[in-house]
Structure 1
Amino acid sequence: MIQWKLSTVNRKLNEEKEKLINILPSHLREEFNKEAYISGGCIYSLYNYKEPKDYDFFVHNESFALSLREFFMSLVINDEDDPKEKNIYVVHYGGERIVITKNAISIGKKYQIITKFFGTPAEVVNEFDFKHNMFYHQNDNIETLSDWDFLDSESLVYNEQRARDISGTIIRVHRFCERGMTITNAEVCKMLRKLREIGFTERENEIIENVGSY
């Protein structure tokens, strides 16, 4: 059963990647096809017959992430009254609305290319906060850095290897619970222990102060 469901999810992910590639400019398509992989909650959602909120794409190297960002930033029309150091830029390309931030390039309502984090799945996906999200699609295959059983689980299990944005992880728990997932006190304590170990860094304090955006 799991293999049949995974093959169905795999086909869907191939289709979505192809759609995104066709939106990109021609000079970036071949490299994106080689460089990009999909990871995050979309795989868990599709496996459980739910429509993903979006599809997160990651790339292996920083230089290509910069190439993608530079292309879309080249479409920004500078306005003298508009500060050059804005956090968000909006352009239109290929019939889609493109939102460029310091962290990602969002294309339309479905696709997001993450530019803040890059590297192999072992480097990137291993830093995801919950184990049901630690699956990735690359080279026409779905792989995991956790365990296949998490695809069938509705329980949140914290990834203790994650050592950043612990406050943000805790704050996001309610989102998963609103979608029907559950979490035990033991898993919450794992996050609190990690936060105690790491301490309240500048980034942690920033997350807490901007809690309204989560």
Structure 2
Amino acid sequence: MREQKLAEISRRLNEEKKKLITDLPSHLQDDFAREGFISGGCIYSLYNDKEPKDYDFFVESESLANRLREFFMSLVIPEVVADDEKPKVKNIYIVHYRGHRIVVTKNAISIGKYQIITKFFGAPKQVVGQFDFMHNTYWHKNNRIDALSDWDFLEDTKLVYNEQRARDITGTIIRVPRFIARGMTITNVEMSKMLKKLRDVGFTERENEIIDNGSSY
């Protein structure tokens, strides 16, 4: 039953990747087809019969991440951007390409429901190993879905913290209410794991900024 469902999800993710590739510049399509992989909450959502709000794509090399960002940044023409197209947040750029309104930030390129993460890159295990909760630690590449951990997390509504995560502990804690709003739960034990990790690694400059401004991710 599980294998059949994963096979169906894999076919769906293959389709989504192909759609995204057609929206990329032709000189980067082959590299993205070879390196790009899907990970994040979309696999968990599809497994639980929910339509994902978006699809997160990652690439294996810094070179491709930089080339993707450089291409879309080359389309930015600030002096002709209309007032209603000007972003309200610094370091966010809006461009138009192949009929799409594309948002480019220092972390990602958003093309409709697809996000290409450019801040983090590497082999799937390396990237997924830094995700915050275990129900997200799955990825799709080369026509199959693989797991960093136990497959049972796909069928669980309890948040389990990935204790191997070494960054963005504050962001992880801030994101917890979002998961709670989606019907998930978390125990005091899992919250304590995050607080212990935060105590051990301390606050980064970015985390202090988020706390001071009362903002979220």
Instruction: State the TM-score, normalizing by the size of structure 2.
Output: 0.93
Give the corresponding residue for 1:65. Answer: 65
Residue 80 of structure 1 and its aligned partner are, at CA, apart by 9.3
Give the corresponding residue for 1:120. Answer: 123
Give the corresponding residue for 1:15. Answer: 15
Give the corresponding residue for 1:135. Answer: 138
Give the corresponding residue for 1:212. Answer: 215
Give the corresponding residue for 1:87. Answer: 91
| 2:174 corresponds to which of 168, 171, 175 | 171
Q: Which amino acid aligns with 1:117?
A: F
| RMSD, aligned CA | 1.5
Give the corresponding residue for 1:96. Answer: 100
**Cα distance in structure 2, aligned partners of 1:12 and 1:156:** 25
**Cα distance in structure 2, aligned partners of 1:36 and 1:207:** 30
Give the corresponding residue for 1:189. Answer: 192
Q: Once the two structures are superposed, what CA deviation does each residue of 1:77-124 show, in whole Å capped at 9, x if it has no partner? A: 132999xxx41000111111100000000001x100000000011211
Give the corresponding residue for 1:36. Answer: 36
Matched, 1:106 2:110: yes
Structure 1 unmatched ranges of 5 or more:
none
Matched, 1:154 2:157: yes
**Cα distance in structure 2, aligned partners of 1:174 and 1:120:** 30
**Cα distance in structure 2, aligned partners of 1:31 and 1:80:** 32
Q: Which amino acid aligns with 2:96?
A: H
Instruction: State the TM-score, normalizing by the size of structure 1.
Output: 0.95
1:56/1:210 CA distance change after superposition, 3 Å: farther
**Cα distance in structure 2, aligned partners of 1:211 and 1:174:** 15
Structure 2 unmatched ranges of 5 or more:
none
1:90/1:188 CA distance change after superposition, 3 Å: same
Query: Is contact 2:39–2:56 with CA below 8 Å preserved after alignment?
Result: yes
Residue 76 of structure 1 and its aligned partner are, at CA, apart by 0.6
Secondary structure in 2 matching 1:56? strand
Q: Name the count of aligned residue pairs.
A: 210
Give the corresponding residue for 1:47. Answer: 47
**Cα distance in structure 1, aligned partners of 2:213 and 2:51:** 29
Identity of aligned residues (%): 70
Runs of 4+ in 1 over 4 A off after TM superposition: none
Residue 4 of structure 1 and its aligned partner are, at CA, apart by 1.1
Q: Which amino acid aligns with 1:90?
A: I
Query: Is contact 2:94–2:101 with CA below 8 Å preserved after alignment?
Result: yes
Q: Which amino acid aligns with 2:180?
A: C
Q: Which amino acid aligns with 2:95?
A: V
**Cα distance in structure 1, aligned partners of 2:80 and 2:26:** 31
